[in-house]
Each structure stands twice: as structure tokens, then as C-alpha cells.
Amino acid sequence: MTTVLVTTATGQIGSALVPMLAERGTTVRAMTRRTPAPGVVDARAEVAVADLDDTGSLRAALDGVDALFLNTPSSQHAAEQQIRAADLAAAAAVRRVVLLSQLAADEDSPVRFLRWHARVERHLGTLPLEVVVLRPNLFLQGLLAIAPAIREHGTLGAPIGDARISMVDTRDIAAVAATVLLDDGHAGAVHTLTGPAAVTHTQAARAIAAATGTPVEFRDLSEARFAAVLDGVLPAWQIDGLLEDYAHYRRGEAAAVDPAVPEILGRPALDLAAFARHHRRAFGG
């Protein structure tokens, strides 16, 4: 039986991926930095308490693992953490690594996150591993970070204008990850994961309003205003990186729709309306 280690197992993708893998009868090892409270991790999974910065704990978590889902929380050291984990996976004779990267990853990109992801992709290509790269677009679930403002003020604000983004639901990312972790035929593939349509933030506001039954208005913020809103919430480096991301979106570089999700899953990708309905309580519905 295949044993799969899922890093960042309590995150948006990991928390959906772990039960999907368990439902397919595989042995799932959920990696968390601390012992999770009861019910946080699917009861069918093993729990491996390990830290991406602790080589010893990572080595123990990888022992006996056949496939690794490699994802790290947002950090200035994410590239180094992923490279370290991949090196240890190769040393542990892990067969397959599924790497969560980002759409448009490029070492020459003006967006730091895209440079970091591309660096990791290149390094994994040098290792004796079966590598599958997933490059998702902006997560629809990223809108949950501003759910409090939507609930309290009825506004969705971002420095994005009317640019369209083919945002993707993290449940689809998890479903694709489960498939490529367990099924053959994807070795060496780079899958771009998007939603079924490129949408504006105005459309996102309307979808949330329709799901909750309350008015929601999009407000196009200046970069300075957006940074001010996030000041004290996120560290300065992350705010600067997000501004680079949004400039990338405004240039129309994240609008293309890719067929990978429906081709791999055999069903349509989840759309904006489905996301808004699923999370309507978070938005005040």
C-alpha cells in the first residue's frame, strides 16, 4: 500500500487532500508542526509532528514514504524549506514528489514568489525523483482572508481594477493532487490549475452577494491603501510580495483558462458561484 506524506496538512489544501487520499485506501501521514487538537486532522491519517526547519524531524516523517505532497506556508524561507525537504525525500528513496508551485513561475519574474517557486522547480528537476508540478492560479479561498471586511462593511477591496483572473478552488487543487500522487502517467508533468472562467473582483463581489443575500461592493484600492490595510496584519516582506502579485494580475498575466482540472478530474472545475455558496457563512450569509 502506498504511503503519502502531506506537508502543511492543516492548511487549505492539505486539510482537503488528507481525507481524499484516505478515501482511496492509501496510508496518509499528515505532517503538522504541533500535535493537532482532536478532530483537526482526519482520524484515518497518521500524524507526523515535524518542522520544515528541523532536518531530524523531517527525516523521521519521510521514513517509509512512497510519495510526498510538498507545500509550505508562506515564508521568506519557503524555497529553502522546500529544497531541503526534497533533498531529504530523495535521500529517503521517496519515489514521487508532487510540488505545489504557482502559475507563471519564472526565475526572471518581477514577482518574488514566482521566482522562488521557479527556483524550487529547477532544483527538483536535478534530483532522482518522479516529480509532478502543480501551478495553481490565485486561490478563490484567498477571498476568505477579507471575509471580516465583507461581513462588517459589505466591501471587497483590492488593487486590481477590472482585471480578470482564472481563480481556482483549493478543493480542486487537492483533488488533482490526490490523483497525481496515486495514479501513474503524470511523471515530469507541469499542470496549470485554473477555474473554469476568468473573473473580475466585481464579479466575485456579486457572487458573494448572491450567496449571502447581502449587498457586497468591490472597491478598487490604490497600492498604498491596500498596503496600509495590511500593515500590522502581515509582515512588510509579504505585503510587498502581494503588491507584486497584484501588479502581475493587473497586467492580465493570470487570465488564461487551462483545461488541466477537468481533464484530470473528469468533471468541470468548481466555479466562483459554487465557492461563494460553499463559504456563504464565512461571508455573513
Question: Residue 222: exposed, middle, or buried by beta-carbon count in 10 A (0-12, 13-18, 19+)?
Answer: exposed
Partners of 29 in the beta sheet?
Answer: 5, 46
Q: pLDDT tens-digit profile of 12-53?
A: 999 999 999 999 999 999 999 999 999 999 999 999 999 999
Q: What is the pLDDT of residue 57?
A: 98
Q: pLDDT tens-digit profile of 177-213?
A: 999 999 999 999 999 999 999 999 999 999 999 999 9
Q: Which stretch, 1-5, 103-107, 149-153, has highest mean pLDDT?
A: 103-107
**What average pLDDT score do residues 92-107 get?**
98
Question: Residue 108: exposed, middle, or buried by beta-carbon count in 10 A (0-12, 13-18, 19+)?
Answer: exposed
Question: Letter for the amino acid at 70?
Answer: L
% of residues, the chain, pLDDT over 90:
95
- Quickly tell me which residue has 477537468 as its cell: 262
Q: What is the pLDDT of residue 37?
A: 94
Q: Where residue 122 falls among pLDDT bands split at 50, 70, 90?
A: very high
225 has pLDDT over 70? yes
Alpha carbon distances (Å) from 141 to 13, 21, 269: 10, 21, 14
Q: What is the pLDDT of residue 120?
A: 98
Question: C-alpha cell of 179?
Answer: 490523483
Q: What is the pLDDT of residue 30?
A: 98
Q: What is the pLDDT of residue 229?
A: 86
Domains, the chain: 3-136+169-193 (3.40.50.720)
- Residue 156 · residue 283 · CB < 8 Å: no
Reported pTM = 0.97
- Quickly tell me which residue has 488541466 as its cell: 260
Higher pLDDT, 230 or 275: 275
d(CA 14, CA 68): 12
Read off φ and ψ for residue 81, nearest 5 degrees: -65, -45
Question: Letter for the amino acid at 156?
Answer: L
242 has pLDDT over 70? yes
Q: Where residue 226 falls among pLDDT bands split at 50, 70, 90?
A: very high
Q: What is the pLDDT of residue 230?
A: 87
Contacts of 23 (CB under 8 A, 6+ apart): none
| CA nearest neighbour of 48 among 57, 56, 40, 39 | 57
Q: What is the pLDDT of residue 1?
A: 62
Q: What is the pLDDT of residue 285?
A: 80
Crossing angle of helices 78-91 and 112-124, rounded to 10°: 10
